[in-house]
């Protein structure tokens, strides 16, 4: 497996310190010191493999650590905070990821035996050890960057193999559940997309539970199990992350942004923003803008 890992590192050497597209659908890579504000974000469902260094992912009150011997699976959209670390010998962090497509998963699952049921109390994100078979599938996938003409014909089969190897592992149930429309996790995933789309509107748990075809108590229980957050906490994280983006990319003031993301009280907004990001909205935005300018000037 060390030989495969070395080849993956070579293939991904062109990655930058931001999400870098590979030319392969849904496959991206990243390398080096990513600005911290970009690591606090809503992450799409994905399989993330560390090639060098290590990473911590915090979702709600739970933090997971993984390195080049492990991979991370996130099966629903989650507001999380990542922390990247270089390798012990100082080499920069390097990773590749595959964004999950439920349609591809559904097609694959029709060719496989029905998966075993899983405890509904399990979270929708976890870490597992990389197997030699999974590593080899990633090597074949990234080799396509050197032969882009082969991507349309071969990338779909390599994607299926990566998904199949993950399905065989301890986190496989997450992939099968998000592709099954009647599973509790799939229903929570739909609710998450509704919250993300209408994040500035008041959250009505009863209506959201009804749309997810669950009782309010069951909906709250499944949502909290999958995300470690209550629906209201999830909405709050989405609002604050959106506010941070607006403050650092536009000229609107704090009060206007607070109203735009759904807060009725600018004071409450500023208090919750500072509690989440460690600084007031204005100071945090100024720090981020200064950091971006400093990096651009290098």
Please, what is the average pLDDT of the chain?
A: 92
Distance CA 5, CA 69 (A): 10
Between residues 270 and 252, the one the model is more confident about: 270
pLDDT tens digits along 31-65: 998 888 889 999 999 999 999 999 999 998 899 99
CATH number belonging to domain 233-296: 1.10.10.60
Domain ranges in the chain? 2-178, 184-230, 233-296
Q: Given a cut of 90, is residue 179 above it in pLDDT?
A: no
pLDDT at 265 over 90: yes
Residues of the chain above pLDDT 70, percent: 96
Instruction: Please list the residues that pair with 96 across neighbouring strands.
Output: 29, 49
For residues 46 and 85, is the Cβ–Cβ distance under 8 A?
no
Determine whether domain 2-178 maps to CATH 3.30.43.10: no
pTM, entire model: 0.92
Task: List pLDDT tens digits, range 220-248.
Answer: 999 999 999 999 999 999 999 999 999 99
% of the chain with per-residue pLDDT over 90: 77
Give the DSSP H or E segment for 177.
Answer: helix 172-178
Residue among 186, 178, 275, 264 nearest 233 (CA): 275
């Amino acid at each position: 497996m060390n030989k495969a890992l070395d080849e993956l590192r070579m293939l991904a050497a062109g990655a930058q310190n931001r999400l870098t597209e590979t030319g392969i659908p849904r496959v991206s890579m990243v390398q080096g010191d990513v600005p911290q504000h970009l690591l606090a974000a809503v992450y799409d469902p994905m399989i993330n493999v560390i090639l060098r260094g290590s990473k911590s992912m915090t979702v709600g009150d739970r933090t997971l650590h993984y390195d080049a011997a492990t991979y991370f699976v996130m099966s629903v959209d989650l507001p999380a905070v990542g922390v990247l670390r270089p390798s012990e010998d100082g080499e920069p962090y390097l990773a590749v990821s595959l964004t999950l497509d439920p349609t591809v998963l559904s097609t694959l699952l029709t060719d496989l035996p029905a998966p075993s049921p899983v405890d509904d109390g399990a979270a929708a994100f976890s870490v597992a050890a990389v197997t030699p078979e999974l590593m080899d599938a990633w090597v074949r996938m990234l080799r396509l960057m050197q032969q882009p003409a082969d991507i349309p014909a071969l990338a779909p089969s390599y994607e299926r193999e990566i998904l199949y190897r993950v399905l065989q592992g301890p986190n496989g149930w997450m992939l099968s559940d998000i592709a099954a429309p009647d599973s509790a996790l799939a229903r929570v995933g739909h609710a998450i997309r509704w919250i993300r789309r209408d994040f500035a509107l008041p959250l009505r748990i009863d209506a959201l539970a009804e749309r997810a075809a669950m009782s309010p108590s069951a909906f709250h229980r499944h949502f909290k199990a999958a995300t470690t957050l209550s629906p209201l906490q999830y909405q709050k994280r989405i609002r604050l992350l959106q506010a941070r983006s607006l403050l650092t990319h536009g000229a609107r003031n704090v009060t206007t942004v607070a109203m735009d993301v759904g807060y009725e009280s600018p004071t409450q907004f500023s208090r919750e923003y500072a509690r989440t990001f460690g600084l007031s909205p204005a100071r945090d935005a100024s720090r981020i803008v200064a950091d971006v300018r400093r990096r651009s000037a290098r």
